[in-house]
Structure 1
Amino acid sequence: MFASLPVFLRVPLACLFLLCNTVLHVLPLLLLTLVRIVLPVKALRDACGGVLVYIAESWLSINGWLWGAFTRTRWTVDGVDGLSVRDNYLVVCNHQSWIDIPALQKIFNRRIPFMRFFLKSQLIWVPLLGPAWWALDFPFMKRHSREELARHPELKSRDRDATRRACEKFRHLPVAIMNFTEGTRFTKAKHDAQNSPYRHLLRPKAGGVAFVIDAMGDAIRHMLDVTIVYPDGAGSMMDMLAGRIREVRIHVRKLPIPENMRGDYEGDTAFRERFQAWINELWVEKDERIAQTFARTA
């Protein structure tokens, strides 16, 4: 619809529409959150929580429509048939760009439960979005360097406790928990610094995945293994709006979480090695899938 406009008009107009959509949804979401806080009855608070998710899904739905209206990006998605909003999922994905998040929201919105992910604590201060994420029960985590953890090992247990509290809340909600398992966005420099054994991926950090699986227990039985490929190269949201990202390819596969992949990751060495081997095998398969996608689009 708007994709034929010249770039100098299309980009600011798209940003304006995205901002308006955010304001129109976040303001009522925050007002309802204030009502929810003061309600004395848990059943009413839970009902408000459901309305908050409905508002958020409406917001994402319109965002998805705007991406389609303002770009000619071709979306090739497979593996999303048969998913359900009544099942809980752990979503693991490779990470290359900030586009990854709206891409995942676009393909999963209203196909699976509302997706939540762990955020850096500093993001609580992002105007509009920070309070909205808080209102929607997104857990905020402090990120600590290895040096900080070496000086203050108690910080590690605080993050584990925060994760466990979040997962305890999620056990009683329809939820999809998002995890970018590499821990950071892929760049060639990071790939080289890690001496990564994968061609298109950084080394996966298995500990966070293991802890979520253990903390969620029987409440989560399936993993969605998501692979995102940008055949033209990963870029920014501005690159997409400007038409420089012509295609996004996303592959999803639903996998059962094996019972022997639930355990004490930190305290049980044998379990930790077994879990790491499982995640590494998933990453080998993902790396090959990305290579094959590039080969087909070459």
Structure 2
Amino acid sequence: MPVFRVFIGLLSLSLYVITIVGAFLLILPPALVKLVVPAWRRPCNTLLDWIASGWIELNSWHQRWLTGTQIRVTGDLEQLSRDEWYMMIANHQSWVDIMILVRVLNGRIPYVKFFFKKELLWVPLLGQALWAVDFPVMHRHSKAERARNPALATQDMERTRRACEMYRDSPVTIVNFLEGTRFTPAKHRAQGAKYRHLLQPKAGGLAFTLSAMSGQLRRLVDVTLYYPGGRPTFWQYACRQLPCVDMHVRLRTITDDLLGDYPEDRAFRAHFQEWVNQLWREKDEQLERMAQEARPDPESP
């Protein structure tokens, strides 16, 4: 790799570290206040969300400046509003996905909240910052664990419900990567390659969240990400090796038939899974179209 690109990558990493430290120092006082004085939770959360949004915008600015990555967006982007409650789903191919999503959508939608794995709580500064701004912690149990102890399914639902209670007072965007993990060819083959460009979606977490929000989430932001040059690593993105990304945004309605008791109601569970599978079939077709459009014409000189 050319020395210039390594320098850009190191500069980008340095800016991420600086902004994380700066955001953490700003986040810490109101986070402690809302912990000690629960009655002040709402104004503290407003301030914390404002700080987090500014942190995202600052990172987006230096990404645009350093990476040179062009993001080509199609679909319903202009229909989005900061005054709506949104559920967002997206295919997951790279750690870069999150950076692309917030870089494009910050300021167009309400503050974004990701479910994150509990292990991230132990990452210095970042884990504590995610906790402070009320990103919900995921303690999801495997099917085998739930089979051995059925009470764990109820615990998963209760944790989701408690996390979502915090989001009812003001608009928010809750993000869910339905595949549960990043796409790799090995994972794709292991699942039987049901879809051409996607891993199989997991419907339970989405159903839990919609139910926990008691019908307040009525709009679904369905995002499809495609990397014409192949799935990048974070280091490649930081080193200016990701020329472009294609992003398609589709705004959908969440209807009443998508709200129900996913663990206990077998008919509802089958209906919800079919709805998610249909979303994924459409997303797979969208990715195929994006791949075809990005492929050079063999007839061209």
Q: Normalising by the residue count of structure 1, what TM-score does the alignment of the two structures yield? A: 0.94
8 Å CA contact 2:222–2:250 kept in 1: the answer is: yes
Q: Structure 2 matches for 1:89-238, cutoff 5 A?
A: 89-238=86-235
In the alignment, is residue 249 of structure 1 matched against residue 239 of structure 2?
no
Could you tell me which of 19, 22, 25 is aligned with 2:23? 25
User: What is the CA-CA distance between 1:5 and the residue it aligns to?
Assistant: 8.3
Distance 2:133 2:82 in 1: 17
Letter in 2 for 1:148: E
**Partner-residue secondary structure (3-state), 1:218:** coil
Q: Which amino acid aligns with 1:129?
A: L
- What secondary structure is seen at the aligned counterpart in 2 of 1:58? helix
Partner Cα distance (2:226, 2:249) in 1: 12
C-alpha contact 1:18 1:66 (8 A) present in aligned 2: no
Q: Does 1:46 align with 2:48?
A: no
Structure 1: stretches of 5+ with no match in the other structure:
none
DSSP 3-state at the match of 1:81: helix
Judge conservation of contact 1:117–1:178 (CA < 8 Å) in 2.
yes
Distance 1:160 1:270 in 2: 18
Residue identity matched to 1:263: G
Match of residue 34, structure 1, among 16, 32, 35: 32
Distance in 2 separating the partners of 1:37 and 1:145? 32
Query: Bigger CA drift: 77-86 or 87-96?
Result: 77-86
Q: CA RMSD in A?
A: 1.6
Instruction: Structure 2 unaligned segments of length 5 or more: list them.
Output: 296-301
How many residue pairs get aligned? The number is 293
CA contact (8 A) 2:110 2:173 kept: yes
Q: Please say if 1:267 is aligned against 2:261.
A: no
SS in 2 for 1:253: strand
Distance 1:147 1:160 in 2: 17
> CA offset at residue 163 of structure 1?
0.5
Query: Residue 252 of structure 1 aligns to a residue in which SS?
Result: strand
Q: Following the alignment from structure 2 to structure 1, what is the Cα–Cα distance between the partners of residues 264 and 143?
A: 19
Offset of residue 19 of structure 1: 1.1
Please name the residue that 2:59 is paired with: 63
Comparing 160-169 and 90-99, the one that deviates more: 160-169
Which amino acid is 2:91 matched to? Answer: N
Q: CA deviation at 1:249?
A: 0.8
TM-score under structure 2 length normalisation: 0.93
What is the aligned partner in structure 2 of residue 7 from structure 1?
A: 5
Q: What letter corresponds to residue 31 of structure 1 in structure 2?
A: P
